[in-house]
């Protein structure tokens, strides 16, 4: 009888040890998977965000698309194209939801909340928008802003024309581009 109890205890101990090892392995795999996530991938978890950007700028709205190096965010009156490298903090707001109207949906991996992951670059998105010469507001990393028409996008810069005359801005130095959807929205 004592041997039966001893074997039962050993079997229970071995089963508990196997469960613990399985749990530890699952935790390690989860940490490794999360370690591969980029900011854009992580933003797909929620539909609404408050973003703090370089230069002290801020944006709050509904995430419409996550692209290769930027995110498209909709507010009630504007469309924002935010350079991922300019995001200093992202604070999730509210429950998950669907992408807003006003942003065309293209190809890409879709999250559970309807937000798509695409491969369009910031330069390509701005280049498409520039066909319509929209009024934009460029929020520069140094805290300044430039409001003018987006007339051309080069390899590493954008050309604006407005009251200041011609302004060339390095794409890497602009935190976000704000467009009025009525004058020329961002492509999807």
Query: pLDDT means per 10 residues in the chain (188 residues)?
Result: 76 86 82 80 91 97 93 92 96 64 41 75 92 94 96 96 96 94 56
- pLDDT given at position 103: 37
pTM for the whole structure: 0.74
- pLDDT given at position 57: 97
| Contact in structure between 81 and 126 (CB atoms under 8 Å) | yes
- pLDDT given at position 78: 92
Tokens of 96: 């998950």
- pLDDT given at position 88: 97
């Amino acid at each position: 009888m004592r041997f039966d109890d001893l074997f039962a205890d050993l079997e229970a101990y071995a089963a508990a040890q196997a469960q613990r090892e399985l749990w530890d392995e699952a935790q390690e795999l989860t940490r490794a998977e999360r370690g591969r996530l980029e900011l854009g991938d992580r933003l797909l978890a929620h539909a609404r965000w408050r973003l703090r950007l370089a230069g002290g700028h801020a944006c709050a709205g509904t995430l419409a698309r996550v692209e290769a190096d930027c995110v498209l965010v909709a507010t009630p009156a504007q469309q924002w194209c935010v350079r991922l490298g300019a995001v200093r903090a992202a604070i999730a707001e509210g429950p998950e939801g669907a992408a807003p109207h006003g942003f065309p949906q293209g190809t890409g991996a879709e999250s559970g909340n309807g937000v798509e992951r695409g491969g369009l670059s910031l330069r390509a998105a701005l280049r498409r928008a520039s066909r319509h010469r929209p009024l934009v507001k460029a929020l520069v990393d140094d805290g300044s802003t430039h409001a003018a028409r987006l007339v051309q996008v080069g390899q590493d810069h954008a050309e604006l024309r407005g009251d200041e005359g011609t302004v060339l801005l390095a794409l890497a130095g602009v935190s976000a581009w704000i467009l009025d959807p009525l004058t020329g929205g961002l492509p999807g």
